[in-house]
Structure 1
Amino acid sequence: MLSLLAASGAAEPIYWENLGLRPYLFEIGGFQLRFYSLAYLLGIVLAYWHLSKMIKAPGAPMAQRHADDLFFYCTLGVILGGRLGYAAFYKPELFGGVELFKLWEGGMSFHGGVIGVLIAISWVAWRGGLNWLRVSDYIAVNVPVGYMLGRLANFINGELYGRPVDSDFPLAMVFPTDPEQLPRHPSQLYQAGFEGLLLGLLLLALFWKTRARYRPGLLVAIFTIGMGMGRFLMEFFRAPDAYLAYVVTETGLSRGQWLSLPMIGIGIVVLVYALVKPPVGGAAKVASPSA
């Protein structure tokens, strides 16, 4: 696939079906193990593994039992929040029908998933008497990898493709699910790279190479701003859902961009708070002359 992408700089677009992709890993009878489901499972497992590693480092605001609780409740938050958010923000007609529960057919909202995870963190923090903002910092570091896997799964499914582009654009691609069969931006890959890989590497570096973990809210603020800005910018390349195209026509911005603006604003407020407040825990001890 990468060789095809690298050699695609001519006048012809890339055809998705020529990449040898399919939306499932294997099929047994009528059951398909789809990459979209695997992306969710792998993202959650990796997040749990890395969170367990993070809390063994100095300055952790929680114990392993709290990480176990977060693994369970955040999984529920991602699934339920993502699906309910999709219905609330994009397809209200799903409410009141069995289609709402057909998760295997796709349709998850990132913003809804974020709300679900925040509720899960609040529940675990309240039960355990934990600092909510510091717990959120630790969770935020682990989100971009799962997001990247989800966008890669969207690409493998040939869905959520980008806006039309000239056929001589190096990454112009024709997706089989596109009724117009136009060359388009592979915006799923843009989002996987910017909001997933780059943001994830930044947060990992800040956690492991700096003392950002000792400033409550700093990591979650950077995540929120980065994800909000990334989503806002990437929406200029991503094709809006057909039933929401009127939002772009009427307002100039997509539904995803409007939902990203509050994220950026909240992130900036939390960032200022994190930078103004003095560091906590191990950072303060290290800075002390008696240390």
Structure 2
Amino acid sequence: MSGLFADVATAIDFTSLGLSPIALDLGFLQLRWYSLAYIAGILVGWWYLLRLLQAPGAPMARRHADDLVTWATLGIILGGRLAYVLFYDPARFLQHPGDIVKLWEGGMSFHGGVIGVSLAIILMARRHKLDWLRIHDYVACVVPIGLGLGRLANFVNGELWGRPTDASWGVIFPGAPGDLPRHPSQLYEFVLEGVVLFVVLWFLFYKTDARRKPGMLVGTFLLGYGLARFFVEFFREPDIQLGTLSWGLTMGQTLTLPMIAGGIYLIATAGRRASGKRAGLRAG
């Protein structure tokens, strides 16, 4: 074989890594890394949120955060799954509607999860008469934890692989068409969406006054995630049932465009909201 994929022998064979999607097999029960990533993301995120709330000027108390975990978990599951069904593989689920509840087989949309969590925050905030936008700011700092763990689980599962590559770190994933070395795009996303985005938000929260500007942190998250996902999609294999859409973008890139636009808007108007809040406090 010649050309772009001439060095297949130097690529990493995924099976040689000894990874398995099953973390623990008890015979009657199998615990998968994918499920554990969601559970760990929620629990670690909850712990980190409580740490953030210890900083002066928090928009809610510990009891509100405890309540929010339940609401947010439902938002992640329902929003993430329904968005995947509607945007990524509607034909399959129309034919086999029972598959919608088979979450253990994978198939979650992060964009849908964001919408689900956002609605959960708004409902919870209205119930307790809290500032829903400032709660979004705090939750946005937490989300990269779950994102990063989820991308690692995607890699362990050998799913959502990248496009073919001749890079020395290319990985041959079992089940991927052509047995060609591919970008480990799951790890690219882990670094950008998980590690880098977490560090940026941590810095803005603790080292600047961003948390006092409603919308600044969640706007930074939306913009950062949107740009990272849009970029990585150039290295990630499009969903086989969709491919590249007629307008030249993948579904993942298309769904990030509203996030990027919303992030820019929230960042650009955060200072104005902070000024308005301070003026309101002085008037009161």
Is the shorter-chain TM-score for this pair beyond 0.5, marking a shared fold? yes
Contact 1:39 1:150 in 2 (8 A): yes
Whichever residue aligns with residue 12 of structure 2, its letter is I
In structure 1, how many angstroms separate the alpha carbons of the residues matched to 2:187 and 2:107?
A: 18
Report runs of 4+ in structure 1 exceeding 2 Å deviation: 275-282
Aligned to 2:196: 198
Contact map agreement 1:82 1:108 (CA 8 A) in 2: yes
Partner of 2:108: 108
Q: Deviation per CA, 1:232-269: give whole Å up to 9, x if none.
A: 0010000001101151xx22110110110111001111
Q: Name the SS for the 1:251 alignment partner.
A: coil
Alpha-carbon contact 2:219-2:266 (below 8 Å) kept: yes
Matched, 1:272 2:264: no
CA distance in 2, matches of 1:54, 1:269: 24
Shift of 1:276: 3.0
Selected match of 1:257 from 229, 253, 259: 253
| Structure 1 gap segments, 5+ residues each | 1-8
Counterpart CA distance in 1 for 2:33 and 2:262 is 33
Q: Secondary structure at the match of 1:277?
A: helix
Give the Cα–Cα distance (whole angstroms) in 1 for the partners of residues 163 and 177 of structure 2: 13
Matches within 5 A, 1:150-169: 150-166=150-166, 169=167
1:36 aligns with 2:34: yes
Quick check: 273-282 or 25-34, which moved more? Answer: 273-282
Partner residue of 2:60? 62
Aligned to 2:4: none
State the secondary structure of the residue aligned to 1:59: coil
Q: SS of the residue aligned with 1:242?
A: coil
What pairs with 1:174-213 in structure 2 (closer than 5 Å)? 174-213=172-211
Determine the C-alpha separation between the residues in 1 that align with 2:19 and 2:9.
23
SS of equivalent residue, structure 2 residue 31: strand
Matches of 1:122 and 1:38, distance apart in 2? 27
- Residue identity matched to 1:109: S
Query: Would the aligned equivalents of 2:214 and 2:274 in 1 still touch at CA under 8 Å?
Result: no
Percent identity, aligned pairs only, is: 51
Deviates more, 1:47-56 or 1:212-221: 47-56
Could you say what secondary structure the match of 1:244 adopts?
coil
| CA offsets 1:103-142 (integer angstroms, 9 cap, x no match) | 0111000000000001100111110111111000000000
CA distance in 1 between counterparts of 2:126 and 2:170 reads: 49
Give the RMSD, CA atoms, in angstroms: 2.0
The whole-number CA distance in structure 2 between the counterparts of 1:31 and 1:266 is 42
Cα distance in 2, alignment partners of residues 46 and 209 from structure 1: 22
Matched length: 273
What letter is aligned with 1:171? W
The 1-side partners of 2:191 and 2:205 are apart by 20
TM-score calculated relative to the size of structure 1: 0.89
Matched position secondary structure for 2:243: helix
* Residue 98 of structure 1: aligned partner: 98
User: Quick one: distance in 2 between partners of 1:55 and 1:37?
Assistant: 27
User: How many Å separate the matches in 2 of 1:232 and 1:28?
Assistant: 40
Structure-2-length-normalised TM-score? 0.92
